[in-house]
């Protein structure tokens, strides 16, 4: 059963009432298995990073948090994951349902309302519910919330760690077919501009986009922006709006490749890349709050 408390267009599978928080002496997720859910990657570093984050979150809330990916990660050889295979969402739920667990709290490691949360996840749960009618899934909102600047403060810390007084910063995300996801990038860019002040110019870009005018909201692409006169020389910080390392934001990944190619095209350009967002205590505080506020009702 999926509990409708927020509009389906916002989160796909719907969170329980945020006011239904546990009492002070009650476990944060009483009655439900907590799954920390990322999109998934074929890069071992992403799954290992997810596991590390799940462990830190478990310490923060005093409950077990199980790392699960939506897709892809089950293609990583277990030998590259310390001998422990990665789990993806559907089989992970099915295995636990067969063991008698039927209540789950899903904490999405997603910045915005992607299609993975709006379409794929509800479909997978609906399929399982036909076989396991007692299944109950509560999904917290994505990480970005209007009026909360903690994600921008993480970006600020990441930027200042590589360049203490940056003159120019580009916030780059993956790119998305969903305007609301790109709107998160734009909002974080505005928040970061306010945090860094008038001495720094902050731009935004996408790593990639789908073809077609209907996806022009992703513009500019990072590789295109780095050829523009105001962005093709001097020191620039590329702030990676990515949660975990992997084939996009990890060493040798797509962002690094785009930046190296831009430096080759523009010999006076010097790019400084930030670390992903995971590992910052503010991210862990957001996730812990989600665990405290979203859980199955008794």
pLDDT tens-digit map of 15-27:
433 333 333 344 4
The SS3 assignment for 286 reads helix
- The low-confidence residues of the chain, meaning pLDDT below 70, are 1-31, 295-298
Where do runs of H (alpha helix) occur along 148-280?
Answer: 150-162, 179-196, 222-225, 254-265
Nearest in space to 112 (alpha carbons), one of 185, 18, 4: 185
pTM above 0.85, yes or no: yes
pLDDT, position 221: 98
Buried b (16+ CB within 10 A) or exposed e, 22-35: beeeeebbeebbbb
**Full set of structural domains in the chain with CATH:** 8-143+280-293 (3.40.50.1400), 150-242+244-273 (3.40.50.1400)
Tokens of 55: 């462990």
pLDDT at 287: 97
Contact 206, 183 (CB under 8 A): no
Q: Which pLDDT belongs to residue 35?
A: 96
Read off the DSSP letter of residue 21: P
Nearest to 272 by CA among 241, 238, 240, 228: 238
pLDDT at position 295 is: 62
pLDDT value of position 168: 98
What is the tens place of the pLDDT at every residue in 177-231?
Answer: 999 999 999 999 999 999 999 999 999 999 999 999 999 999 999 999 999 999 9
């Amino acid at each position: 059963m999926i509990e409708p408390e927020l509009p389906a267009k916002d989160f796909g599978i719907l969170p329980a009432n945020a006011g239904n928080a546990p009492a002070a002496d009650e476990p944060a997720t009483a009655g439900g298995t907590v799954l920390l859910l990322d999109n998934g990657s074929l890069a071992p570093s992403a799954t290992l990073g997810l596991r590390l984050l799940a462990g830190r979150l478990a310490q923060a809330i005093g409950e077990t948090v199980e790392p699960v990916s939506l897709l892809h990660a089950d293609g990583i050889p277990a030998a590259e994951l310390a001998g422990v295979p990665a789990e993806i969402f559907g089989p992970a739920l099915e295995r636990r349902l067969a063991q008698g667990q039927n209540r789950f709290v899903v904490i999405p490691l997603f910045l915005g309302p992607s299609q993975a949360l709006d379409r794929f996840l509800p479909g997978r749960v609906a399929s399982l519910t036909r076989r396991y009618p007692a299944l109950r899934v509560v999904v917290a909102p994505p990480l970005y919330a209007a009026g909360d600047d903690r994600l921008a403060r993480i970006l600020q810390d990441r930027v200042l760690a590589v360049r203490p007084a940056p003159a120019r910063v580009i916030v780059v995300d993956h790119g998305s077919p969903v305007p609301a996801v790109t709107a998160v990038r734009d909002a974080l860019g505005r928040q970061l501009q306010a945090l860094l002040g008038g001495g720094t110019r902050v731009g935004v870009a996408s790593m990639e986009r789908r073809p077609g005018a209907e996806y022009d909201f992703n513009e500019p692409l990072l590789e295109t922006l780095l050829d523009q006169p105001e962005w093709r020389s001097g020191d620039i910080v590329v702030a990676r709006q990515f949660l975990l390392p992997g084939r996009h934001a990890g060493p040798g990944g797509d962002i690094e490749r785009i930046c190296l190619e831009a430096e080759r095209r523009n010999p006076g350009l010097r790019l400084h890349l930030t670390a992903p967002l995971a590992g910052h205590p503010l991210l862990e505080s957001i996730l812990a709050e989600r665990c405290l506020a979203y859980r199955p009702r008794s």
